[in-house]
Amino acid sequence: MMLRSIKAKAITLLSLFVVLLFVNGCKRNKEKYYSYNDLGYYYQLIAFNSTTATYQPNSVAWVDANFKTQSDSVFWDSRNNFNDNFFVALDSLSTTNFLKNYISKLTVADSACLMIRTKDFFKQQFGSDKIPFFSAKDTVVKIDVKIRCIMSADEYNNRAVNLLAQETEQIEAYYKSPQDFEMARDTFGFYWIDKPPPSDLPVTVYKNTVKLSYTGTFLNGRIFEQSPVNFEVSYGTPDQLIKGLNYVIKRLKKGQNAKIILPSRLAFGENGSTNGIIAPYTPLIYEIKIIDVKTNDGA
């Protein structure tokens, strides 16, 4: 019995030693490859330009980036999710956006990896206190970045003009001919893909309660948004729907369906969506159905 006890203790001590060795090894490994910033994130410079990085205030970095789970599964990348138009305003003093803080220390052609605490990342990058299911068990989010270009404010504004022109070209390319493109344009500024036939039903007016369903996709057909079940709005009330959808509702009547393209100025504009899903200057397709329209008494 005593011999068994001694063996059991030896095995326990050996197991404890292995665990401690693994933990210390991981700690040394993190410290070896990553540096720690007092704000609370880890960073590692992978490749760098021979030019010394100089902070350029009031500038904007054009960045290639991808966001990964702790197990290295990519859940967002700037090429597919942001139409290759991911820009970061440089601010080396930012204490509320770790990505912005670190990118401000880099220069053109620099590549780096960051690790940011999961709850901090989603709060800072997507403005959300909720952690998505794919990162729910992760301690950190991993970020790979490469600096493509650093622009002055004037250069960035000029690029914005070019992006707006490219957006118009994207919408026109969706149609078979320039003539179809022009005919599809509504006076409100959106573009019809499927337009409902005329109807004798009364038009939707402000303050009516409208029950509707819609699906939003990019021009390539990838879905980014769907309305909740039994979704209702008080038509014309600010901030319930983006501007372009309000305009479309104005054209539709109870029971009608439509498919349209919204240019960015009627959707999420020059800054994109606050949750990081829609890039700046992104035209969007919406399929919408007016399920019911109710007149509010006293409206």
CA-CA-CA-CA dihedral for 194, 198, 202, 203, to nearest 10: 40
What residues have CB less than 8 Å from 150, skipping those under 6 apart?
Answer: 56, 59, 60, 61, 62, 90, 107, 108
What residues have CB less than 8 Å from 130, skipping those under 6 apart?
Answer: 122
Within this chain, do residues 181 and 256 fall inside the same structural domain, yes or no?
yes
Within this chain, do residues 131 and 182 fall inside the same structural domain, yes or no?
no
Q: How far apart are CA 48 and CA 107, in angstroms?
A: 8
Confidence (pLDDT) at 19? 36
Domain final position from 151, 184, 214: 151
Residue stretches of the chain with pLDDT short of 50: 1-4, 6-31, 298-299
Q: Which helix (H) or strand (E) holds 112?
A: strand 111-117
Confidence (pLDDT) at 49? 75
Domain that holds residue 197: 165-294
Within this chain, do residues 171 and 289 fall inside the same structural domain, yes or no?
yes
What residues have CB less than 8 Å from 168, skipping those under 6 apart?
Answer: 263
Confidence (pLDDT) at 267? 95
Domain final position from 104, 125, 151: 151
Decide: pTM greater than 0.85. no
